[in-house]
Structure 1
Amino acid sequence: MSILALVTAAGALVVSATAASRVPKRGGSGRTVDQLPRDTAALRREVAAWADAQTHTFRHLAVVRYDAFGDTGGALSWTLALADDTGSGVVITSIHGRNETRTYAKSVSGWSSEQTLTPEEERALAEARR
């Protein structure tokens, strides 16, 4: 189980790093208050750049837990939806059975996926969108 959590965390880290690489490199990070522009127009540009960069961070997330099979209990299967403000991100699903566990990742763009989503994945994506 801990190996699965490690693999899932590594996958989420890769997706986050990919999204972060799309964010334009603008001034602002690591600067002190004294280094910020003093005029209102420049401050407005700084805030706009920061807000634009936030568009590509995973701020929408939801987890749906469920029993994937009738012979297992405890809602050990789960789906995690992670998306930015544009609806781009990933849906990660882990299906737990009696003898094995399988994990799937599907890319999301514009709040939908080219791959067919399960009802649980659709639910997680819908909950993340709220």
Structure 2
Amino acid sequence: MLAVLASLSFVLALTAAGLAVVALRRTSPRADGSDLPTDVLGLRQEVAALRAETGAGLRHLAVVRYDAFGDMGGHLSWSLALLDDSGDGIVLSSIHARSEARTYAKNIAGWTCEAQLSPEEDEAIAHARP
């Protein structure tokens, strides 16, 4: 009788261990996300795509206001840097004089410019850089 109870206990223990392994496989996360519902996987892919797209957005910006001429006040001239994560973008400058205002645009690639930059444009790029 004792042998029957011992073998029955052994079989029950094996069955419980097997069920525990199956339960662990169902609940433990997998690196590839295959254990997640398809809508969650879809959301993860959307978030990854949005992160990739935002890197190319002009998200780094800075404005420097200044007096271009000594006889004028009010900081009416300005330089604006609009750059993406890799430092590509544009610097816009508007120089205000008494009778007119002129606006200039310069391309920026990799945080530098082929054209000569004014000190204020350099400052705007430096402030926009993370």
State the TM-score bracket (shorter-chain normalisation). 0.5 to 0.7
Q: Is 1:68 aligned with 2:65?
A: no
Q: Residue 46 of structure 1: CA displacement?
A: 2.1
**In the alignment, which residue of structure 1 is the partner of 2:39?**
38
Question: Which structure 2 residues correspond to residues 6-45 of structure 1 after superposition, within 5 A?
Answer: 37-40=38-41, 42-45=42-45
Paired residue for 1:52?
Answer: 52
Residue in structure 2 matched with residue 19 of structure 1 by the alignment = none
CA deviations over 1:30-89 (Å, ceiling 9, x no partner): xxxxxxx5143x433322111110011111111100000111111100001101111111
> Deviations for 1:107-128, whole angstroms, at most 9, x for unmatched residues?
1111111111110000001101
One-letter amino acid of the counterpart of residue 44, structure 1: R
- 1:81 equivalent to 2:81? Answer yes
Paired residues, number: 93
Which residue of structure 2 aligns with residue 128 of structure 1?
128
SS at match of 1:87: coil
Mapped to 1, the partners of 2:64 and 2:58 lie a distance apart of 17
Structure 2 alignment gaps of length 5 or more: 1-37
**Secondary structure, in 3 states, of the residue corresponding to 2:91?**
strand
> Aligned partners of 2:129 and 2:66: how far apart in 1?
20
Give the aligned partner of residue 101 of structure 2. 101
The normalised TM-score by structure 2 is 0.67
Instruction: Report % sequence identity.
Output: 57
Largest Rg, 1 or 2:
2
Paired residue type of 2:81? A
CA distance in structure 2 between the aligned counterparts of 1:117 and 1:48, rounded to whole angstroms: 36
Q: SS of 2:39's equivalent?
A: coil
Q: Give me the CA root mean square deviation.
A: 1.3
Q: Any gaps of 5 or more consecutive residues in structure 1?
A: 1-36
Paired residue secondary structure (1:86): coil
